[in-house]
Chains A and B, each alone.
Chain A
């Protein structure tokens, strides 16, 4: 998958200004950056849910935004996406959620669907939870079910939107392991959008760091660790002050206190 010269603006605000990415087949590629850099927007652009103002996104040789609706839907059947919220259908059980794409897109007999669903759930360790409803799951379990659903149609690529956010250390470890394991055993291409530096670096083959609508750093986790860019170093090491200032732009502090102007 390649992204070339991608530009996107939300109203007046420019979110991407010429982003280039190359995502290698069979690898885990991470896209990192602080909150508000439009990482989720990037995934939506890749999935064809949003249109860029300029630039192209090519997946498996096809320009996503030139495809007809029908072709785009064909392509999406081969792309899984894991939403931050899990996006499970709340009126269906865990089993029916995982069976949903199979029932919508295939004419498989119910016995076959049952086998496939149980296999996918076994892969994420939740076969025993197939009778539960989404509201009965913890956040981490919900994400694992969503992951089982994302791999239900055996996609070639999975997009992960902040898979680690808000998880306890054990769940986080489970998810990190799962993403890597699934990527290797199913020969997937994985794209992880995240700002959890430690977890993401542990499994990523290649990392892009985004900021201010541009790629500010890229390389393998080791190479990025030796980076000379002060910005990338601040982000990776989580330093409170540096090129990204601690203070939101403000007038002089003393003047503000003594001035007594508007609040």
Chain B
């Protein structure tokens, strides 16, 4: 009994210790951000590897999610003779929910895991320690540019996801199922609100961007410097950031779309 309690206490303490380390880490990284802005090339290189290289998976997934939405939406709406509202259904689902959430999940799998593995391996091969001994702070030189790149890329990827998703929905609805082209776009234009829908979606994607990138770089930096440790850290990044995205999505949705 005592042993169970002791183990519980130890796990709890370790959890809070890690949480504290993660926050301190974030603080140090944020301190390094202004320096990154003055070294633009470092940032561009990271936006390339974190953002641009994630484009393909985001584009392809976006088109397919939009096409599925078009099909499912049409099948439901056609029973009520409301298939002209297909544009609104597709656009709102994407902009409010699926764009930020699915893009963030893909981002965690594609870019987050790569960030963790890269930083973890740099640690395992003493590259980070080597930098420290050259009086270069790895938090500023390695972590801060990657963090900022993730933070900038994620909202853009979510926006691209939503945009190609709408096109996918349009292709299925208008192109294949014969929904009226004008009604598709004009209803969408009338019903999608800049503030309530688009801005809130952007806010979600920014929050997800921060959380996923933070988890990814922290897991890499905090990884046990062995191949097994890096492997486990990479898994943790994907699991933790996916759970964080889904959990936060509920909280944010409750705050944004419930007029309490």
Contact = CB atoms under 8 A, between A and B. Distances in A.
B132 A49 contact: yes
Contacts of A149: 134
A73 B141 CA distance: 14
B137 interface: yes
B127 A73 contact: no
A212 B169 CA distance: 71
Contacts of B137: 73
Interface stretch (A56-64, A78-86, A186-194, A203-211): A78-86
Contacts of B136: 100-101, 104-105
A149 B127 CA distance: 13
A87 B135 contact: no
Contacts of B132: 47, 49, 76
Contact of B126 (A76, A87, A153): A87
A174 to B, nearest CB: 21
Contacts, number: 53
Interface string B22-37: 0000000000000000
A105 B125 CA distance: 23
A130 to B, nearest CB: 19
Contacts of A88: 127, 130
A89 interface: yes
B130 A81 contact: yes
Interface in B96-153: 122, 125-127, 129-137, 141
Interface pairs A-B: 10 shortest CB-CB: A87-B130, A76-B135, A87-B126, A73-B135, A81-B133, A77-B135, A101-B134, A83-B126, A104-B136, A85-B126
A74 interface: yes
A90 interface: yes
28 contacts: A47-B132, A47-B133, A49-B129, A49-B132, A73-B135, A73-B137, A74-B135, A76-B133, A76-B134, A76-B135, A79-B133, A80-B133, A81-B130, A83-B130, A84-B126, A87-B127, A88-B127, A88-B130, A90-B122, A100-B134, A100-B136, A101-B134, A101-B135, A101-B136, A104-B134, A105-B135, A146-B130, A153-B134
A90 B141 contact: no
Interface of B: 122, 125-127, 129-137, 141
Contacts of B141: 104
Prevailing SS type, chain A contact patch: mixed
A49 B129 CA distance: 8
A73 B138 CA distance: 12
B11 to A, nearest CB: 18
Interface residues of A, number: 24
A139 to B, nearest CB: 13
Nearest to B141: A104
Interface string A219-253: 00000000000000000000000000000000000
Contacts of B131: 89
A1 B125 CA distance: 28
A159 to B, nearest CB: 8
B133 A89 contact: no
Given A73-B135, A87-B125, 11 more contacts: A47-B133, A73-B137, A76-B133, A80-B133, A83-B126, A88-B127, A88-B130, A101-B135, A104-B134, A105-B136, A149-B134
Interface in A80-124: 80-81, 83-85, 87-90, 100-101, 104-105
